[in-house]
Structure 1
Amino acid sequence: MSKIALKVGVAAVALTLGSSNVVLAQDGDAKSLEKVVITGSNLKRIDTETSTPVQIMRREEIARLGVNSVKEALETLTASNGALSDIGGSNSFAGGASAVSLRNLGKQSTLVLLNSRRVAPYALADYNEVFTNLDALPLDAIERIEVLRNGGSSIYGSDAVAGVINIITRSDYQGVQARASYDQSLKNQQFKTKTASITAGIGDFDKDKFNVLANIEVFKRGEVIWRDVVNDINPAYGDKFSAVAPNSGLMFGNRGAPSTYSYPGNLIGQGGVPGCATVNSAGLCVYDRFSRFEAVPKSDRVNGLLSGKLNLGGGTEAFAEALYSHTKTNYTNAFGTYGSTTANAIWGDPSTGNGKSFIYQYLPASHPLNTTGGDVEFRYRWADAPAYRETDSDQYRVLGGLKGTWNNYDWETAAGVMGSKTKDRTYGSLSDSGFKKEVGDYNNFDPDTGSMLDPNFFNHGYKIGQVNSPEVLNTLFPAQGYDGKITQYFADAKISGELGKIGERAIGVAAGVEVRRESFRITPTANLLAGDIVSYGVATADASRTTEAAFTEINLPVTSSIDITGAARVDKFPGFKAHASPKLAATWKATPALMFRGTAESGFRAPNLTESAQSSKFAFSPSVADPKRCGKAQALGSDLRNQSAALPASDPNKALLLARADTVEGNECAVGLPSIVRNNPNLKPETTHMGTVGFVLEPFNGTNISLDYWKIERKDEIGNKSTDELLASEADQPAGVVNRAPLSADKTFTAAEQAQYGVTAGRLVSTTGSFLNVARTKTSGFDLSANTRLNTGIGRLDLGANATYLLDLKNYSSALNNYGDNLAGRYGYSKTSANFNAALKTGDFSNSLRLIYQSKTALNDDYFDETYTLAGCASRKWSVDECQIKAYKRLDWNLSYTGVKDLTVSLFVRNLTNNRPPVDLRAFNSAGGVIPQDNQDVSRRSVRLTAEYKFY
């Protein structure tokens, strides 16, 4: 255990020097004193006397949030930060899934449980990250969500590093209830989501000795295309999205204009290909690129839960549970483009381990469409390609078990199987071999002149701007993707009870064992394995393992006011020694209204099967700014724009100069850089040391306030060095880690421009490496929670507040041999995240308001980011005010009516004041300056109508 964590634990124990025995209860009724098992412990206890910070979101509170899914509910946590979303999944290895991340430590470091047991991970890894798919969990079946806001490896084992989220489903429900909701934007009548569910339960467990619960939930979300929801057009700049970022047409050059990469295409210097529907003033065919930019993909989900329990007599109970989910997500992709001056596409061939290069060639003079007498620059959009992605996933968990009592001990055992299967297919990407067959071999050119030697290049099977047969299109754009499958078998057993007494105070003890067998297979399609899909990476995995664990926990009531809890778990994974995760926690009830608490613990994350087992990953780092060439490209781009500005509007070269300026900067400041990474069987587990110290105050009945300081240090993090870090320390890297093409192959700068702008390094080609225990992270902050309940003259008023203040977040840099900058307050890491809630119940009406707050951030991130520093912003002519994201505030309102028997009708208004989010020029620029930075910016105020009816 680290010195810092040990000091925190000692400090917590040192607080236990008082007396008086109290129970801090949220409510005054006796029911609140019932002992239960709360997330973070295997011992039964009163929920408010826990030594570890646990936030509980109850069913009624979740309903007031106006959320449509488990993911949306967890996003409301102040400790939650951005993780994978199925909405943006078209650019992910794990499309069609959503995840959660706590404490900015990533989705692999947050453990998600269903009824205190694991669910199978999603069957596709997001590069190397394996995670729980939140979209497979039913929202309407939830009774409450318990969030352990510190590590839990001493109880739950691997992955419980940043926190544990335990989703508890309804129990002992009787009756039949139907629920339906409809959600959409008021601004544009888009962003539509529909949900419906039915829940049925039979059997009074106390009287009938059994209970069975069934829940089926259907979720449907409509597709949204940017073109259909954005109407703020600035005619002066041809910028569809100037209202998102004022003057963005000036900031982002010509990127808001229609594209000259069009269908049926352009021959630069000659004009548009015959048959073009829209021609600009320069005689070039243009295309509305926004017509296929997707804001939200279509999604259909069905989640089902069946659970039951049976009293067998003699204090023994049998229980069983079955979970099934089917999710389908359809992504609309933009049509691909072809441009003679486009930088060569670089990607990897898994079959050889070598890189591949796709060369964009000029249209030869022999082509029937080319009347210039020489090779000509060709710009084209594959508008007849089947450009979309489909992801279908099934997930299940089936378990059964027994529990009961023996000699005043509670025992429980269960066994089950769970798994996930996913089929992911993308259409519309170029096949390397298909291109050579239907278009021509791009390598068949004269190296001295650069001219194509194939006179029929672009005139074989595929015909420019004509109707092409399905056979030709399928050859050129074949389906490609992955089949993933995870299967896990498990069995567990535990026992807990009273070991003895200290005075009249019971010593609680728990112990248990767990065994798990898991297999994970990710199988790419044959064309990906062969490296045949241009610019696409690939990930593979095929491995299995068995893990065992034993755990114990003891609670010592040292005095009537002092409790000390110790816990430890030992996990054995193949490939490294057994790992022990200890925990020490203490509480001191200083007065009947004040309790101090603290914890010190160690956690870990074992290497997953995609990191340690046989696998390889060929991926791309998007929008990389080459530190050796980006600044020089920006200087050239600026000069090209100045040249364009000096030309009359009628000069066709005006548009060409602007277009080349965009191309030049895109080639060097937004490079798609391949990264080749292989598995490492010698990986060690990631380890974490964490400490918390805080207090809970109940100044009067119905009111409680808690404040906890937390600190996490994680080392031996598994990953590969980031592209930015490698490029920042390129001179210190071994040969073959950062790869560049020779200057003679430069397609961005001519030889004269290389001399003029001082270009001495060739363009980036790739980075290579393997997974390593390469990084460390440390972070700390405060969590504040406050709740009160007041009886007013018109009804009951509930007030609540939750806030997380991020003190620091630092990533270790091997280049610096030290930690980098403090990222708190930098891009993506607000220092303060808070929400404030007020709910007033008056007769049949219930009104609630919720204010969400995120503090401002700078645009830059760690030390190596020079692009978005104040100096970098100034070079782009962005003001200091524009070089930040201002604080974000949103007010939501929920109204519920229960005046009709058995019927509850609710109206939820998201963004009641119709505020726009603050301008984020970094997000806007990263997307090429052509789409809004945020869905919220165009959806604005939205409403959700919900009706719930209880049949009996």
Structure 2
Amino acid sequence: MRQSLAAKGERVPSGRIEKGVRLVKTSSITAFLRAGVAPAILGFALLQAPAFAQDVSPQAAGDAAENDTIIVTGSIIRRADAETPSPVTVVTIDNLDKRGVSTVQEGLQRIASNNGPALTNSFSANGAFAAGASAVSLRGLSTNSTLVLFDGMRAAYYPLSDDGTRNFVDLNTIPDDIIDHVEVLRDGASSSYGADAIAGVVNIITKKNFKGVSGRAETGISSRGDGAQYRLSLTAGTGDLEENGYNAYVSGFYYNSKQLKNKDRPYPFNTDDYRRICNDGTCGPNNIVDGLDGDNAYPGFSDVVTNTGSTLFVRPASALTGTQSGRYQILNPDLGCNRSTPYGLTPGELADNPAAPTTVCQEDLTNNYGVINPDIERYGLSGRITARVGDSAEAYAEFNFLQTKVAYDGLPTTIRGNAPAPFYFPRYSTSANIAYYGGNTVLQLPVYVCPRGTTVACTAANGTLNPNNPFAAQGQTAAIIGRLPNSIEHDESRTRAYRGALGIKGPINDNWTYDVNATAMHMDLRRKSDGYVYIQHLLDVIADGSFNFVNPAANSQDVLDYLMPTAQATSTSDLVQTQANVSGSLMDLPGGPLQVGVGVSFRYEAIDSPSINSDFNGGTERYYRLNGFAVKGSRRVYSAFAEVNAPILDQLEVNASGRYDRYSGGTDNFSPKIGVKVKPIRQVMLRGTYSKGFRIPSFGEANATFPTTGYVSNTASIFNDQYLAQYGCTVATFASCPAYIRNGTYGQTSVGNPDLKPEKSRSFTAGILVEPIRGLSFTVDYYNIKKTNAITTANNAPAIDAYYAGQDIPAGYTVIPDAPDTANPGALPRIAFVQSGFINANTIKSEGLDFGANADLAITDGIRWQSSLEASYIMKLETRFPDGSVERYDGTLGNFNLTAGSGTPKWRGTLLNTLDFGSFAISNTVNFFGGYDLSATDQGTGYKDCGLNDGSLPCRVKDYITFDLNAQVRVNDSFTLYANMLNMFDKLPRIDTVTYGAHAYNPVQGGEGILGRYFRVGVKVNY
């Protein structure tokens, strides 16, 4: 991994990060290595300018000694040499500006080593579990294996876990305008920081000193006139630490990004109709709700039962048994198909689908309602004061407040949808106005309606015929499906983060120094959801007839508010940490002083995230479609750590460190690390590390108070012939099974397990850095990370097999049957839910290479040419299970379950090039995101067998390359104007209809590219 320049609030000496090339992004070069044009491209790369992040060169490291000593991320020892055995990527604000990147969050999402199940802001618009947050996933090992620090101290977790299991720090809590730079340590660092640092560390370094006034105003918009962004900031500081003995500054900012909808982008990103996506004569399906498939054959009215757009359909049913008969029909033909196109079924289609209506409504939900990016509004205020204490000590105090609001619109309100726990739709008894469950999966309107609160049978004697039921006069109930045309689901999250930090450092004597820091952080997250039906209230308005289903627009606001009360919950997360260390020199070795550092730390962390949709009051006292996950827990951690740095020779340095952590629950862990740096000649440095680390079980994995559920489609592999015989089919003829079997899903419900053990890891790196001349350097680093005892959901196959074989369910599992098939009421129902606890079981391995190239050369006295390249290649990412089976993910859409189908491409990188003319600079960035195979072994396919492709796409989604252009003009010492043109050639993302994190494209590969060509202009002022 790369080690970087400063940590714990240390400012990098002038001439280091601020004046060098600091941001390496190597996208295209590594990708083009595979294409066989490496020499030409590498030559071009080295004729470019500063990039996104960079490894510190030996020459640059030597410069540090001329200025001051520094503390490096992953270390507690002050040193003059910034080069350590670990590789570090350094991200500076200056180079983010050159790339046209507006926020540090966005910049971190683009680093080459960020891969796999990263969490981006765009996921918020697609129902992400931790909506409103952003997190990186170094090495493809997920968000919970990357540790995020502020000035070397921990930050509070986001109150919602990623997928209900993974704790992470939200990058949206970064106060952009007080950030000096960010260091990304890309190897294990549990020996310095404890849990979660398995894949690496992101250390956000804030400004230590600021004097004067600076501000920024920026606006941006796409070439299509949408996706607008705005940014304003102002920072003011006074005092000079050297001259006045103090420095103080305050900073505030405002950022806003407007919602972007699918309808604002061209085909196929704006529609559910994929029939124009073709490959070798095979075209995609028409997924428009109630529409025809790609072969112009009606797929079966079971699709209508699942989704009906925003039109209500009804079908007659027996008031005694709930058995349906006849065809569905539009409840109110006068209203027709809302926001959709009517289609009359042909005689053949009607014959094949006895339940289908004669007219269906083809509604394109993506075109009508789809959201690409949510509304994002962020603002914050920060302040810091640093002061001399006595002759040589230095103390500081810092405070940050930041609020982020994320909001997006969803689909029309559904009155028929799966609740996130076992719940069946009711039918009504004709002898009593009472709903009962388990006999039908479709909501039914009763024959008679009575005033609310009626406890006796509702009959003709005390009630009236139901005005919403067109079959009431015949004594039949009405099975009703669909969505309400006059109500839209809307979700909003508001996060407030409060952070304070204090610290003091100084010399003990000529050889030893001390450093004491404390931080506290509190986050509160308010989730608010509107337009979701509260189940019991739906049953109430059905029973008393107070809701007008025939003409939903005629309902009063009071009735709508009763049916769909606002769902709201506030979650909190807290962290308190204190840390102290001393470091100094023991003796001189041939290569320099033998340095030792020791320290202790205490931290408290807690999460309290109640369910926004619990069933504590009963299965009907909750909402349709809102996830019910909840978690509450706290822990205290006591730690001691030490480090030794031994420059044995001028050419050989050895660094060893270790940390012991003790958790209040009784868990303890020791994490060692050793690193070696060898410099046989000045131009070459060899480096390597070996370490062990751990990840403590998350609060969601160990302390969930309400479980999380994911839904899995039924496939032939989960059944057996004996079971399917009840439905007149076999595994071999699964395609002919009833829709009840084929179109069903079952919920995988994961229950918290307080007896989980920590995940353990071992990792090693080996690399070389070559600097043939001053200002030109190359790096290659190999990494290998192995996690054991990886926490996962239990394999549900034994429970599923036992259920369908009619055997006893194994211990540790609970199987909940679904409602019976109305066409086969005597048959054993399919599975609705399988519940099991998290377990320590798997082994996960990530292995790959990092490449870097940096140039900073003077062309003439007034012109500098800078270039920086960073690329990462994943050789292998796989999970090995206890039975010996292996799932491999690199270069595919796996791990499908963790990445929302966004996958794990092998290559990723960026190349930034700049020509600096002094008062004018122009930069070009090449962004490269590798392609991948449309397969995922965790979805039952073989490795790279194209198993998720329906034939309408090539087996491999191609590489995605975009080009950005940025120009800066320094008008005078106080004003700088700049303009960006991102995605210069308006290259929209590669088409991928398999991933579900976004519509028809990969949200990680093409997350920013979906904006198309994008323009930003701004001004920076400094006084």
Q: Please give the secondary structure, in 1, of the residue aligned with 2:576.
A: strand
| Residue 188 (structure 2) pairs with residue 146 (structure 1) | no
Aligned positions of 1:94-173 closer than 5 A: 94-126=130-162, 127-173=164-210
Aligned partners of 2:958 and 2:990 also within 8 Å: yes
Shift in CA distance, 529/909, structure 1 to aligned 2, threshold 3 Å: farther
Tell me the equivalent position of 1:884. 956
Tell me the equivalent position of 2:14. none
Tell me the equivalent position of 2:551. 465
Give, in whole Å, the separation in 2 of the partners of 1:720 and 1:920: 28
Tell me the equivalent position of 2:783. 710
| Residue 585 (structure 2) pairs with residue 492 (structure 1) | no
| Residue 507 (structure 2) pairs with residue 405 (structure 1) | yes
Tell me the equivalent position of 1:88. 123
Q: Please give the secondary structure, in 2, of the residue aligned with 1:68.
A: coil
Shift in CA distance, 862/670, structure 1 to aligned 2, threshold 3 Å: farther
Give, in whole Å, the separation in 2 of the partners of 1:92 and 1:930: 15
Tell me the equivalent position of 1:782. 849
Give, in whole Å, the separation in 2 of the partners of 1:511 and 1:664: 68
Give, in whole Å, the separation in 2 of the partners of 1:571 and 1:593: 39
Of residues 902, 914, 920, the one that matches 1:845 is 920
Tell me the equivalent position of 2:678. 588
Tell me the equivalent position of 1:303. 380
Aligned amino acid, residue 835 of structure 1: T
Q: Please give the secondary structure, in 1, of the residue aligned with 2:411.
A: coil
Q: Normalising by structure 1, report the TM-score.
A: 0.83
Q: Which has the higher contact order (CA 8 A, sep 6+)?
A: 2
RMSD of equivalent CA atoms: 3.8
**Larger displacement relative to structure 2 (691-700 or 917-926):** 917-926
Tell me the equivalent position of 1:941. 1013
- 1:624-665 residue CA offsets vs partner (Å, 9 max, x unmatched): 756447999xxxxxx9xxxxxxxxxxxxxxxxxxxxx99987
Tell me the equivalent position of 1:512. 599
Tell me the equivalent position of 1:273. 332
Of residues 747, 759, 774, the one that matches 1:686 is 759
- 1:774-833 residue CA offsets vs partner (Å, 9 max, x unmatched): 22201111111110122224711111111111111111223x434323534555111111
Give, in whole Å, the separation in 1 of the partners of 2:721 and 2:177: 53
Shift of 1:592: 1.1
Shift of 1:494: 0.8
Give, in whole Å, the separation in 1 of the partners of 2:208 and 2:750: 46
Shift of 1:73: 0.5
**Larger displacement relative to structure 2 (719-728 or 468-477):** 719-728
Aligned partners of 1:623 and 1:926 also within 8 Å: no
| Residue 68 (structure 2) pairs with residue 56 (structure 1) | no
Aligned amino acid, residue 424 of structure 1: R
Q: Please give the secondary structure, in 1, of the residue aligned with 2:580.
A: strand
Aligned partners of 2:928 and 2:960 also within 8 Å: yes
Shift in CA distance, 789/541, structure 1 to aligned 2, threshold 3 Å: same
- 1:746-786 residue CA offsets vs partner (Å, 9 max, x unmatched): 36xx559x9xxxxx985331121112212220111111111
Aligned amino acid, residue 485 of structure 2: A
Which runs of 5 or more residues in structure 2 are unaligned? 1-55, 292-303, 315-326, 345-358, 424-436, 448-464, 723-728, 730-734, 895-902
Aligned amino acid, residue 708 of structure 1: D
Give, in whole Å, the separation in 2 of the partners of 1:29 and 1:575: 47
Aligned amino acid, residue 69 of structure 1: T
Aligned partners of 1:233 and 1:242 also within 8 Å: no
Shift in CA distance, 29/598, structure 1 to aligned 2, threshold 3 Å: closer
Shift of 1:605: 1.2
Tell me the equivalent position of 1:610. 700
Shift of 1:119: 1.5
Of residues 538, 556, 560, the one that matches 2:650 is 560
Of residues 427, 432, 441, the one that matches 1:359 is 441
Give, in whole Å, the separation in 1 of the partners of 2:277 and 2:66: 49
Q: Please give the secondary structure, in 2, of the residue aligned with 1:89.
A: helix
Give, in whole Å, the separation in 2 of the partners of 1:729 and 1:24: 63
Aligned positions of 1:460-859 closer than 5 A: 460-466=546-552, 467-503=554-590, 505-525=592-612, 527-530=614-617, 531=619, 532-613=622-703, 615-621=705-711, 627-628=717-718, 673-721=746-794, 734=810, 737=813, 739=815, 741=817, 745-746=820-821, 762-793=829-860, 795-814=863-882, 816-821=883-888, 823-825=890-892, 827=894, 828-859=903-934
Identity %: 24
Aligned partners of 1:252 and 1:929 also within 8 Å: no
Tell me the equivalent position of 1:197. 233
Give, in whole Å, the separation in 2 of the partners of 1:932 and 1:692: 27
Shift of 1:471: 3.3
Give, in whole Å, the separation in 2 of the partners of 1:621 and 1:407: 63
Aligned amino acid, residue 415 of structure 1: A
Shift of 1:464: 3.2
Aligned partners of 2:502 and 2:517 also within 8 Å: yes
Aligned amino acid, residue 903 of structure 1: F
Give, in whole Å, the separation in 1 of the partners of 2:497 and 2:69: 33
Shift of 1:172: 1.7
Give, in whole Å, the separation in 1 of the partners of 2:635 and 2:83: 39
Give, in whole Å, the separation in 1 of the partners of 2:1004 and 2:597: 53
Shift of 1:840: 0.7
Shift in CA distance, 34/700, structure 1 to aligned 2, threshold 3 Å: farther
Give, in whole Å, the separation in 2 of the partners of 1:490 and 1:389: 33
Shift in CA distance, 228/76, structure 1 to aligned 2, threshold 3 Å: closer
Shift of 1:424: 0.8
Q: Please give the secondary structure, in 1, of the residue aligned with 2:665.
A: coil
Aligned amino acid, residue 746 of structure 1: D
Shift in CA distance, 285/694, structure 1 to aligned 2, threshold 3 Å: closer
**Larger displacement relative to structure 2 (499-508 or 561-570):** 499-508
Aligned partners of 1:215 and 1:306 also within 8 Å: yes
Shift of 1:329: 1.3
Tell me the equivalent position of 1:655. none
Tell me the equivalent position of 2:462. none
Shift in CA distance, 222/669, structure 1 to aligned 2, threshold 3 Å: farther
Give, in whole Å, the separation in 2 of the partners of 1:935 and 1:725: 39
Of residues 404, 421, 443, the one that matches 1:347 is 421
Aligned partners of 1:611 and 1:679 also within 8 Å: yes
Give, in whole Å, the separation in 2 of the partners of 1:171 and 1:489: 22
Give, in whole Å, the separation in 2 of the partners of 1:929 and 1:247: 20
Tell me the equivalent position of 1:388. 490
Shift of 1:71: 2.0
Aligned amino acid, residue 111 of structure 2: L
Aligned partners of 2:246 and 2:385 also within 8 Å: yes
Aligned partners of 2:641 and 2:659 also within 8 Å: yes
Give, in whole Å, the separation in 2 of the partners of 1:56 and 1:40: 13
Q: Normalising by structure 2, report the TM-score.
A: 0.77
Aligned positions of 1:9-88 closer than 5 A: 24-26=58-60, 34-46=68-80, 48-81=82-115, 82-88=117-123
- 1:186-228 residue CA offsets vs partner (Å, 9 max, x unmatched): 1x21112111111112111111111112221211111122224
Give, in whole Å, the separation in 2 of the partners of 1:358 and 1:169: 59
Give, in whole Å, the separation in 1 of the partners of 2:1005 and 2:711: 20
Give, in whole Å, the separation in 2 of the partners of 1:496 and 1:825: 47
Shift of 1:103: 0.6
Shift in CA distance, 189/926, structure 1 to aligned 2, threshold 3 Å: closer
- 1:501-522 residue CA offsets vs partner (Å, 9 max, x unmatched): 1247201111111111223211
Aligned amino acid, residue 865 of structure 2: L
Shift in CA distance, 935/528, structure 1 to aligned 2, threshold 3 Å: farther
Aligned partners of 2:936 and 2:947 also within 8 Å: no
